Amino acid sequence: MSLKSYLFSGFLFLLFFSIISCQPPGEVQEQPSLTLPERPNILWLVTEDMGPYIPSFGDSTIMTPNLSWLADEGVRYPHLFSPSGVCAPSRAAIATGMYPSSIGANHMRTTSYTDVTGLPSYEAVPPSEVRMFSQLMREGGYYCTNNLKQDYQFQAPVTAWDENGPYAHWRNRENDQPFFSIFNFTTTHESGLFEPYGFRNNELRHYHAGDTSYHQAQWNAKTEESETPVHVSKELDFPIPPYLPDNEVTRRDMWKLYNNIAEMDRQVGAILDQLREDGLLENTIIFFYADHGGPLPRQKRLIYDSGLNAPMIIRFPNKQLAGTIDDQLVSFIDFAPTVLTLAGQPLPSYLQGQSFLSEDVEERKYIHAAADRFDGFTDAIRAVRDKQYKYIRNYRTDQGYYLPIVYRERIPTMQELLRLRDEGQLNDIQAQWFREEKPAEELFDCVNDPHELVNLADNPDYEEKLKELRMEMDRWIAAIGDQPNLPEAQLISQLWSGADEKPVTADPVIDLSGGELEITCTTKGASLGYQIITNDSNRQNWRIYQGPLELPAGTRIKVKAHRIGFVPSETIEFEVSD
């Protein structure tokens, strides 16, 4: 089918798709008006690699009863976008409230693929004042837990979480202590499409909260397909995006995609049940969202909406604003200021986002995104999008969009695309991704062309919109200090201040004077954590040092310093003397 024929024959399909993607059924809520507890609990339910493939966002292919319940009692956000089409840079933005390309977190897998890139292992290095926002929540008295995934493009300091691991749970906090708890669901990850098909056993951890007898060796295994629950009929008429071949291979991957979503919905339900059992539902703000767009070829890693647009639902206590839609543009960098504001915490000046739940904050007009290195292959692309149009700037025009990423090529549909490409059997739409060159600029109407197939950059009717978004991109790049297409070796040199090796956090210095114990570190921006040594130290949380301590004689402590992006210090032990 030619592109021209596609535009005519597929117009109604595209129009319908744009309607269900951008405007799911419900009342549009322009500005939130909420009455919340002074220090509400905040629960994040985070899935991976998932676009808006659920009924509450217009896709009725399968039923997701728990997410549909959440949407019925909450607010849907159809215009949430990640700053990258892949997880680690996006999670860096969430953790710090800063754009990945402003802190050296934009290249996917900075600590691996060194044999391919020839580069040393390195981490993102934010400015010295930057803290993971979970640490700021802890400093404000919240009990903060992360179960299980991290993947921030840097090692989290021990001060970031009260609990960080497979058994992390709000149930271990002090009585009546407010909590911020994250549960990450990996079933919907891209690897869930690999063959042989089966669910990861590690998802059982969500049903064993507090039960540490479930042995870690079982987590990396996958169930056999014959033992994997089938939630979704293989006979359904699965929607196939026009850029993928409509054949049995793709349909099997689509079945796996939806079956994985259904399993994830079941796991979400288990956490919601625990919240109800604990009597915490009506003083907890519940967020559900995906860490970026979908897992399929031409989705994940790209900065089309298929790679950036993620569904989000928020349920507020007592079903406030239930069943409504908030269609404002939201970026992942808005999460940190939003949650800090909900918790009554002051906002650090370095944050690059804004609270999207504050009535006195002007709604954002644009979202921004970037694509750089993915595993062993590098590109340089930047994007800016308003409610309808997206502008893309390609810095490597002599390089095609498609990158031969080995991990992605384990997806059967990706293998099928390559087979059909080599046999010359792709149609014009499917072949677009495999063009050998890219235009310097692209402009897409994301409402009427939701798959971003028709470049309007050279169309004189859109000249003013092109200029507007071009200027906005220039402004954003300058504002955050982005350096598109900077060789990665030069980036590392900048992050390391010209040194040849990763910087190391200085060991903490402990001083006991006048009955008070003080801890300092000469590394600017280092967070200081300490732990009281007891017979059960392995189950103790690292505490954040915020000022002099008064400890009884004979108390033994461990102390550690860590600036984000640096090698952490050695752990120093100290015993308080008389």
| Mean pLDDT value across residues 325-341 | 98
What pLDDT is attached to residue 206?
Answer: 66
Residue 415 or residue 166, greater confidence: 415
pLDDT of 238-257, one tens digit each? 999 999 999 999 999 999 99
- Per DSSP bridges, beta strands 75-81 and 324-325 are parallel
Among 26-30, 61-65, 163-167, 508-512, the range scoring the smallest mean pLDDT is 26-30
| Mean pLDDT value across residues 361-390 | 98
pLDDT of 99-119, one tens digit each? 999 999 999 999 999 999 999
| Mean pLDDT value across residues 188-205 | 88
In the annotation, is 87 catalytic? Answer: yes
pLDDT band at 183 (very low <50, low <70, confident <90, very high): very high
**Beta carbons of 347 and 337 less than 8 angstroms apart:** yes
Percent of the chain residues topping a pLDDT of 90: 87
**Beta carbons of 310 and 90 less than 8 angstroms apart:** no
Angle between helices 248-277 and 65-72 (to 10 degrees): 60
> CB-side exposure of 176: number of CA atoms within 13 Å?
2
pLDDT band at 267 (very low <50, low <70, confident <90, very high): very high
* DSSP string for 181-203: EEEEE-TTSGGGGSSS---BGGG
What pLDDT is attached to residue 536?
Answer: 67
CA gap 225, 476 in Å, rounded: 47
pLDDT over 80 at 18, yes or no? no
What pLDDT is attached to residue 148?
Answer: 87
**Beta carbons of 45 and 288 less than 8 angstroms apart:** yes
What pLDDT is attached to residue 21?
Answer: 41
pLDDT of 405-439, one tens digit each? 999 999 999 999 999 999 999 999 999 999 999 99
Please state the φ and ψ torsions of residue 301, each to the nearest 5 degrees.
Answer: 85, -15
User: What does the DSSP 8-state code read for residue 30?
Assistant: S
pLDDT over 90 at 9, yes or no? no
Task: Give the 3-state secondary structure of 253-276.
Answer: HHHHHHHHHHHHHHHHHHHHHHHH
What pLDDT is attached to residue 289?
Answer: 98
Average confidence score pLDDT of the chain: 93
What pLDDT is attached to residue 221?
Answer: 79
pLDDT band at 507 (very low <50, low <70, confident <90, very high): very high
pTM above 0.75, yes or no: yes
Domains and CATH numbers, the chain: 35-102+128-358 (3.40.720.10), 372-413+422-495 (3.30.1120), 509-575 (2.60.40)
pLDDT over 80 at 4, yes or no? no
What pLDDT is attached to residue 167?
Answer: 85
| Mean pLDDT value across residues 545-573 | 97
pLDDT over 50 at 274, yes or no? yes
pLDDT over 60 at 179, yes or no? yes
pLDDT of 281-325, one tens digit each? 999 999 999 999 999 999 999 999 999 999 999 999 999 999 999
What pLDDT is attached to residue 23?
Answer: 47
Active-site entry in 22, 87, 446, 521: 87
pLDDT of 25-63, one tens digit each? 566 655 568 999 999 999 999 999 999 999 999 999 999
CA gap 485, 15 in Å, rounded: 36
